Amino acid sequence: MSESLYIHGTAPDEQQRLSLLNTLLNDAALQRLSLRGGEKILDVGSGLGQLTRAMARAAGPSGRVVGIERSLEQLRESKRLAGLVGEEDLFELRQGNATALPLRREEWASFDIVHTRFVLEHVNDPLTVVRMMVEAARPGGRIILQDDDHDVLRIFPEPSGFYGLWQAYIRSYEKLGNDPYVGRRLVSLLHQSGALPMLNEWLFFGSCAGHPHFPVYASNLRGVIESAKDAIVPTGLLDQGRFEAAMKALQEWEQKADASLWYAVCWAEGTKRS
């Protein structure tokens, strides 16, 4: 199996964008998780660790949370952020790949919740990841998948050249062998992995001009595309001139009084069969 390729990189600007994204999404994710305390949780692809720490706070002192992250840069930043608020001992971080989880023998089939977010879209073989997640869950445990289906994005009024720009962004995933539409496959991946699918829905991720969070949503959209520029322009998916023109139009769209954006994060949940 070939190594997965992460399209966005881990530069400081990108980490800041991811941190803002976490801030907007985490409350809704925690509400849906409905943690009661005492859970043993495995977070696959923990990134900057913000949601991982939030889960650890909700699980409480009788719970246990382990975060798995491949990127050393993300791990270092995750530890730094946790240290800033005195939460470096709140959860455990391990470096490892989602396709080869670094778990001890006794840890397999032991977690109450095995969770991942924005990982499956960046791997060549998401089924292998979900199968490992199911193996890590205890019988009756919850397997929770959050990921993107990039086809659900809508913005209005549509900036000139944006549709071509967004399609080039989507194709950059496919060029790397990844799936920009994996969100629609989450229930199927749970089923194929032997779990019992129990829930299929999404978390709304959108706003409009005038709402205090709109600038963050809009800048995140620009940041997502800008961070993928090196996967778009050099590979011929969109030339430099059209890329820059569409990005300028997108920035101008942000200033419109009637600018609006609709997006949703796909959420699927299953349980491990006894």
Q: What pTM was estimated for this model as a whole?
A: 0.91
pLDDT at 40: 98
State how far Cα 99 lies from the chain centre. Answer: 16
Neighbours of 29 (CB within 10 A): 19
Run of H or E residues at 44? strand 40-44
Q: Beta partners for 65?
A: 41
Mean pLDDT of 240-269: 97
- Residues with Cβ within 8 Å of residue 158, at least 6 apart in sequence: none
Q: Mean pLDDT check: name the lowest of 10-19, 99-108, 258-267.
A: 10-19
Q: How far apart are the first and last CA of the chain?
A: 29
pLDDT tens digits, 151-200: 999 999 999 999 999 999 999 999 999 999 999 999 999 999 999 999 99
Burial 40-69 (b: 16+ CB within 10 A, else e): bbbbbbbbbbbbbbbbbebbeeebbbbbbb
pLDDT at 17 over 80: no
Question: Residue 147: left (phi > 0), alpha (psi -120 to 50), or beta?
Answer: beta
CATH says 12-272 is which class?
A: alpha beta
| Low-confidence winner among 24-28, 71-75, 113-117 (lowest mean pLDDT) | 24-28
Q: What percent of the chain has pLDDT over 90?
A: 85
Domain coordinates in residue numbering, the chain: 12-272
Q: Mean of the per-residue pLDDT values for the chain? A: 93
Q: Which amino acid is at 88?
A: E
**The two three-digit tokens of residue 204, written as one number:** 């709304």
Q: Using the predicted structure, report yes or no on whether residue 230 has a pLDDT greater than 70.
A: yes
